[in-house]
Amino acid sequence: MNTQFLLIQVFNGLVNGAFYALLSLGLAVIFGMLRIVNFMHGALYMLGAFVAFALGQILGLGFWPSLVLAPLLVALLGMALERTLLSRLYGLEPSYNLLLTFGLTLLTQDLVKQVMLSQYAVSSAPYTTPTVLTGVVNLGFVVFPKYRLFVIALALVVCLVTWFVIEKTRVGAIVRASTENPVVTRSLGIDVGKWVTGVFGVGVGLAGLAGVLAAPIYSVEPYMGAELIITTFAVVVIGGMGSILGSIVTGFAVGVLAAVGAAVYPPMANTLVFVLMAVVLLVRPTGLFGLPEGAR
């Protein structure tokens, strides 16, 4: 096996990793503050892609405006769902939330499927790459599609900005305080509930963004989130629940590892991530970056 092929696999892995990182970061942000696992995440990722597609069909909006608008719309929908539905289940058993978000996932998938079939007579639609990002870049040692490099770069920037805001700014201090001790934080004059809604919006907005980024690579279809989110949950388990930096690093690392591993030993292609997850669970059940509950 030559180095060039391996390098291409590393880049492919980084592209997959970009999606894992954006999605697991969103899950981590949400879990940190709300203590819920958002099982709707894959559906909202798909919705990001679908909204971008629909904005193009209805308003003729191209990739760039959609890249901003679609995640915002997904975030707004998420915030509305948090206010009206999720917030009613806080303090109840986690299984209630699981059932609700699972139900909402099915609902979203079927709604999108209906709309696509009835309005556009397709069950799956391609999404064109913006012209500036078509073609390839010659990196000297390998040639790689421009758009995919853009995906890696943008995901990296978005992830690092999110990390920076949470760890280093006043907004982040409020989020961390509300996560650690909502009762005391509220008593200090901070409307924790409002921040919970906002953080949920940001978390699902990241999923929406990943969806728009995915649209030109994978085609837009109602179940595009279903498989990806399963791998993402494996990434979350490997990285450890709730760690911001952990979710980013693990996302990219697992992407690369899985792609390289699949190249080295093709039969493992689909199972490598889950084998990795099993090993991590055996050695360190709280994940590579996760602290035991209570030591946070």
Partner 1 sequence: MTAALLDVRDLNAYYGQSHVLHGLNLRVMPGEVVSLLGRNGAGKTTTLKSIMGVLRSRTGSVTFDGADVLRLPSHRIAARGMAWVPEERGILSSLSVRENVELPPARPGGWSAERVYETFPVLRERGQHPGSKLSGGEQQMLAIVRVLRSGPKLLLLDEPSEGLAPVIVQRIGDMVERLSGEGLAVLLVEQNLKFASRLADRHYVFVDGRIVDEVKRDDVQARRDDLVRYLSV
Residues that bind partner 1 (CB under 8 A): 170, 173-174, 176-177, 179-181, 183-193, 296
Q: Are strands 136-138 and 143-145 parallel, antiparallel or unpaired?
A: antiparallel
Nearer to partner 1, 107 or 188 (CB): 188
Q: In angstroms, give the least distance from the CB of 80 to partner 1.
A: 21
Q: In angstroms, give the least distance from the CB of 87 to partner 1.
A: 14
Q: Residue 60 — left, alpha, or beta (φ > 0 → left; ψ -120 to 50 → alpha)?
A: left
Nearer to partner 1, 87 or 123 (CB): 87
Q: In angstroms, give the least distance from the CB of 190 to partner 1.
A: 6
Nearer to partner 1, 16 or 243 (CB): 243
Q: Give helix 3-34 / helix 170-180 axis angle, nearest 10°.
A: 60
Task: Extract the tokens encoding 284.
Answer: 């360190």
Task: Extract the tokens encoding 123.
Answer: 């069950």
Q: Give helix 41-59 / helix 192-214 axis angle, nearest 10°.
A: 60
From the list 241, 248, 204, the residue with the least C-alpha distance to 225 is 204
From the list 101, 146, 123, the residue with the least C-alpha distance to 50 is 123
| Backbone φ, ψ for residue 137 (5° rounding) | -115, 135
Question: What is the maximal distance between C-alpha atoms in the chain?
Answer: 62
Name the β-bridge partners of 143: 138
Nearer to partner 1, 82 or 221 (CB): 82
Q: In angstroms, give the least distance from the CB of 170 to partner 1.
A: 7
Nearer to partner 1, 62 or 172 (CB): 172
Q: In angstroms, give the least distance from the CB of 179 to partner 1.
A: 7
Nearer to partner 1, 155 or 192 (CB): 192
CA pseudo-torsion sign 71, 77, 83, 88:
negative
Q: In angstroms, give the least distance from the CB of 217 to partner 1.
A: 37
